[in-house]
């Protein structure tokens, strides 16, 4: 700041002169202070360094806050994505389980039908065999030696054991088919 001191304007009294002197002293004090401030390189460097430290500290705080917010955002996104994937996997598991259950029931029904068909065929075959055996028995009775003829007659009169063997055979075949299909299904 430069202040001009005007010469040639005379003071109009001692009070006015004192006032001008005081004003001049004040202006000189300010000028000297400015010159001292400009000459104090170390002080200015310290002040600048302190200012830069303050700015760096403020930026550090801002960066930490930004990193924290970004971390929370990423964590929230990851949690939401994880929950969504878990939900989809559970739904898919339920669909697969339901389809497997339905397929198992269908296979079980087919095996039961096949078992009944086999059992029916075995029963008919048993009856046919029994009928043939009856006819053959009468023929056989004449061809069998005398001591065995009584045994052959009892077998012909009570054909139940022959029929039972046929039914048991059909049941065993049916159980084998059901067991085999279940084992392949799982």
pLDDT digits (tens, 9 = 90+) for 54-82: 998 999 999 999 989 989 998 999 899 99
Q: Is the pLDDT of residue 169 over 70?
A: no
Q: CA–CA separation, 81 vs 64, rounded Å? A: 25
> pTM for this structure?
0.35
Mean pLDDT of 116-133: 78
Nearest CA to 31 out of 53, 51, 4 is that of 4
Contact yes or no for 7/37 (Cβ under 8 A): no
Q: CA–CA separation, 49 vs 55, rounded Å? A: 10
């Amino acid at each position: 700041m430069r202040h001009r001191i005007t010469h040639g304007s005379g003071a109009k009294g001692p009070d006015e002169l004192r006032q001008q002197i005081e004003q001049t002293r004040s202006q000189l004090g300010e000028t000297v202070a400015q010159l001292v401030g400009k000459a104090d390189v170390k002080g200015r460097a310290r002040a600048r360094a302190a200012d830069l430290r303050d700015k760096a500290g403020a930026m550090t705080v801002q960066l930490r806050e930004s990193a924290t917010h970004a971390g929370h955002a990423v964590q929230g996104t990851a949690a939401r994505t994880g929950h969504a994937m878990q939900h989809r996997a559970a739904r898919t598991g339920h669909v697969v389980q339901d389809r497997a259950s339905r397929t198992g029931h269908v296979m079980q029904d087919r095996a039961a039908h096949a078992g009944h068909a086999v059992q029916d065929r075995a029963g008919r075959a048993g009856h046919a065999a029994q009928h043939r055996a009856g006819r053959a028995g009468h023929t056989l009775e004449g061809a069998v030696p005398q001591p065995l003829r009584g045994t052959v007659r009892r077998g012909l009169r009570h054909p139940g054991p022959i029929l039972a063997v046929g039914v048991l055979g059909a049941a065993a075949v049916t159980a084998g088919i059901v067991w085999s299909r279940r084992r392949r299904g799982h």
